[in-house]
Structure 1
């Protein structure tokens, strides 16, 4: 059976001029507040993203490396930018794929994230190929080992082990009432990485809450840093478990906002290096694809 892979990501504008269209796509027809758009443009500009976006280059490098590792065609599909998930699925079908493995570059399941990728993928294939969709992989041993090694690398630079804060993108708190497993899966990954890395002192915080006017999952990383400083913690290591590349949420929310807050509090703040297109991470992704292609997934 001919197999192809659709590697999915949230999407990111290629250049500064694309930000308004990108943000409108995220809003999905809902009104765009000018002040929110201006703030987003300012963040990209301050990070030096004018004519090209390093995140898109990382995604392409990951795609190309995964294709080489698997010996199978791999197509990138974005939820909120080009190329779309439908474009990637169409290219897989045009190449004769009878089976398509869908893999999102986000390790933890939520009805507000992974399920929406799946829905777009199902619609795009429209029954023309068998879909093997990877729902979750936050507890994958290879992924856990990779993050644990990144933590240990930072620990080796310190005389005393820093307090580790695991982070992930927040989502509206209403998902808990709906039985969504997102928070539990994040905490499980955090526990596994901490155990594997020998971390004794750790906590978890969310980040990157959007201004929607409804409650979001907490605690948020900024007030959490305040709380840590109040308990005489002085060294903090951030370990994002919900991100696998240098997204805006990493480069701005952690490397700028959290770093600024840490300086105000007198904290020494460090962060692990994200997997990005590291060969070890690509091998983790390849293992997920191979297992999905060999065994049908429920649902």
Structure 2
């Protein structure tokens, strides 16, 4: 693929769902996520309580901005081209639609849109790209644009996840829990999306297989977490079902690897650290999880590699090593 020339001014837009920055924003945020469909008071209050228990807000924006700052430093330190990194959210402030005009006003020659998830899905990444496309259609001077669809096999990403699994195993060993069951998790999606050809599940399987290649033999399983409350079928098995099965076998410890997420937010700090840990404890299981990537240097390296390998112009690219066999 073409590379960025040394005299280009390149913007990198990191995109994610977003999250409320205070308890007062929980209701409006849920309304946005639900596409304007009314949210019951009970559901709003439930989620407000969840956010209260993790500090009164989502840490996603702060972490995303820290990731952007670290990425900007890495890119400008490694190359002679000039990079500037931005953060835009699909469902809350700062919205992608508001950040794009700022990017263009800064006079950049090129824009790389990098989703803060390495795995493509129409439900998430596809929506981020659509929001960026819509915003770009309104600007007077459109820069060259490259979209990074998937970067789930970047060697630095695989190495970072493998290192975090090793750290988690060592932590449990220090507590006299040896050979735990290792449960990889990601956010569930409606099964109809996968049946329609969405690559999300396949890409997660690729990443899991590549991570396991770098580790000694483990008793590893895949589970899906944080499914929506709808009547449709979602990807499974759900995490609770897997933990229930493990508990019935007499196991004492589980290491969770929530590799479907790249930063601490509600699905990690509440769904895993509070809800899943309590569920596991009730079944006699010590549950620990690997640290989130956040601003881990290996994760920043992976993002930088994905940016550098992005095609041009107005292209959509997949970044990383050859995919592993699907598990």
What is the aligned counterpart of 1:188 among 206, 211, 215? 206
Aligned residues: 297
Q: Distance in 2 between matches of 1:55 and 1:277?
A: 12
Give structure 1 stretches of 5+ with no counterpart. Answer: none
Q: What CA deviation, in whole Å up to 9, does each residue of 1:123-177 have, x standing for no partner?
A: 1122712211110111111101000000011222315221110000011111122
How high is the TM-score relative to the length of structure 1?
A: 0.94
Give the equivalent residue in structure 1 for 2:126: 115
State how far apart, in whole Å, the 1-side matches of 2:309 and 2:29 are: 34
**8 Å Cα contact 2:224/2:235 also seen in 1:** yes
SS at match of 1:282: helix
Aligned: 1:248 with 2:253: no
- Could you tell me which residue of structure 2 aligns to residue 45 of structure 1? 52
Deviation at 1:240, TM superposition (A): 0.9
Relative to structure 1, the CA distance from residue 213 to residue 73 in structure 2 (aligned partners, 3 Å threshold; closer, same or farther) is same
SS in 2 for 1:3: strand
| Equivalence for 1:172 | 190
Q: Is the 8 A contact 2:89 2:95 kept in 1?
A: yes
Distance in structure 2 (CA, Å) of the matches to 1:31 and 1:21: 10
Q: How does 1:135-150 map to 2 (within 5 A)?
A: 135-150=149-164
Bigger Cα displacement from structure 2, 126-135 vs 206-215: 126-135
RMSD: 1.7
Residue pair 1:8, 1:79 contacting (<8 A) in 2 also: yes
Q: Distance in 1 between matches of 2:97 and 2:314?
A: 22
Q: C-alpha offsets along residues 155-200 of structure 1, whole Å, 9 cap, x if unaligned?
A: 2231522111000001111112201111111111111112212242
What CA distance in whole angstroms lies between the structure 1 residues aligned with 2:156 and 2:243? 29
Deviation at 1:298, TM superposition (A): 4.3
Matches within 5 A, 1:221-232: 221-232=239-250
Distance 1:296 1:188 in 2: 26
Alignment partner, residue 63 of structure 2: 58
User: Which of the residues 88, 91, 96 maps onto 1:77?
Assistant: 88
CA contact (8 A) 2:16 2:89 kept: yes
Distance 2:270 2:117 in 1: 19
Shift of 1:294: 6.9
Please say if residues 5 and 92 of structure 1, whose CA atoms lie closer than 8 Å, have aligned partners that are also in contact.
no
Instruction: Pick closer, same or farther for the CA change 1:294–1:149 going to 2, 3 Å.
Output: farther
- Structure 2 residue matching 1:289: 3-state secondary structure: helix
Unpaired runs of 5+ residues, structure 2, are 1-7, 77-82, 318-327
> In the aligned structure 1, how far is the partner of 2:124 from the partner of 2:54?
26
How far apart are residue 101 of structure 1 and its match?
Answer: 0.1
**TM-score calculated relative to the size of structure 2:** 0.87
Equivalent pair of 1:122/1:131 in contact (CA under 8 Å): no
